[in-house]
Amino acid sequence: MSYRARLSGIGTGDQALFIRRDMFNQIGGFSAIPLMEDVEICRRLKALCPPRVLPSPVETSVRRWRQRGIVNTVLQMWWLRLAFFLGVSPARLARQYYPE
């Protein structure tokens, strides 16, 4: 994931985003959207400065990866990000990501 973040300049929440308060305030904070808020804020931050990827690993929950499987989870994340970049609304993506 860190290679993808380095190449794209887009991090996601499970990678831990560290943002200086002044920059966070300058871009208006997180958007009030139900999904992709991490990707969306990274897009806006890239306009201010290139992101840095720290060498230290971050531990996050593996619950979703175990429930859905690694391959299915990766494919779903790729699909959701592609759809978001193509203009699909975060509300519609959230309904796919959080099925009832």
∠ Cα 70 76 80 (to 5°) = 145
- In this prediction the pTM is 0.82
Which residues span the domain enclosing 74?
2-97
For residues 42 and 54, give the distance between their C-alpha atoms in angstroms, rounded to a whole number: 15
Distance of CA 23 to the CA centre of its chain: 18
Distances 59 to 2, 16, 39, 62, 83 between C-alpha atoms, Å: 13, 9, 19, 9, 27
25-67 pLDDT, tens digit each? 999 999 999 999 999 999 999 889 888 888 888 888 888 889 9
**DSSP letter for each residue of 5-55:** HHHHS---GGG-----HHHHHHTTSS-S-SS-HHHHHHHHHHTTS-----S
> How many domains, in total, are found in the chain?
1
pLDDT at residue 30, rounded to an integer: 95
- Residue 10, pLDDT > 90, answer no
